Amino acid sequence: MTFCLGLTGSIGMGKSTTAAMFAEEGCAVWDADAAVHRLYVPGGAAVEPLADILPDAIFGECVSRERLRDLIRDDPTVLPKVEAVVHPLVAEDRKNFLQQTDADIVVFDIPLLFETGAEATMDAVACVTVAPEIQRQRVLARPDMTEARFEAMLSKQMPDSEKRQRADYLIVTDTMHHAKQQVHDIVKKIRTEQQDA
């Protein structure tokens, strides 16, 4: 029986690094952002339906994330249309991944896990978190990141405090060593419970 663990956290909290730690522990990891990339490349499942409703977002037979971002910023009605196309396709990709793996624990790395209601399909949820000043420092160190863009991204995400409250496990990513230890403990606990079940 495969255990489905949702992994979430706001921008700059260290989710991708933490997902890699779960992979090192022998878990299969599915990445929502990577799934979206697969949908947007030439021949990807989202290209044609998005071309029908947002032809300006298509560039060279693929969905241009930059153009899409600009369209969403300029027109508040665009995002729900995009989500109506993309979310079901991402859910399908996730389902296929689960059917094809024989791992005992599958970690689903989903930034908007709670926002999209995906926690309903998980056995448990782990949330990565860190102090707001460290989060801000990490995000603003990224190339092309501005204060305004960071604030805009934060405003679209559920507050960290609410995510922490709703999660079954918390992973504080203040240091690599600390995060690794917490990931190890979570995996060990899940595996022990699976064996005892």
Q: Where are the beta strands (DSSP E) in the chain?
A: 3-8, 28-31, 58-59, 62-63, 105-109, 124-129, 169-172
HSE, CB side, 13 Å, CA atoms: give it for residue 28. Answer: 15
pLDDT band at 153 (very low <50, low <70, confident <90, very high): confident
Fold of 34-102: Rossmann fold (3.40.50)
Rounded Cα–Cα distance for residues 131 and 56 (Å): 39
Percent of residues in the chain assigned helix, strand, coil, to nearest 5: 55, 15, 30
HSE, CB side, 13 Å, CA atoms: give it for residue 185. Answer: 11
Rounded Cα–Cα distance for residues 24 and 27 (Å): 7
pLDDT band at 157 (very low <50, low <70, confident <90, very high): confident
- Quote the mean pLDDT of the chain: 94
Count of helix runs (H) and strand runs (E) in the chain: 9, 7
pLDDT band at 1 (very low <50, low <70, confident <90, very high): confident
Residue intervals of the chain classified under CATH 3.40.50.300 are: 1-27+105-197, 34-102
pLDDT of residue 138: 94
pLDDT of residue 144: 86
pLDDT of residue 156: 80
Q: pTM (2 decimals)?
A: 0.90
- The proportion of the chain whose per-residue pLDDT surpasses 90, expressed as a percent, equals 88
pLDDT in tens, 4-20: 999 999 999 999 999 99
- Chosen CATH of 1-27+105-197 out of 3.40.640.10, 3.50.50.60, 3.20.20.70, 3.40.50.300: 3.40.50.300
Burial grade of 163 (CB within 10 A; 0-12, 13-18, 19 or more): buried
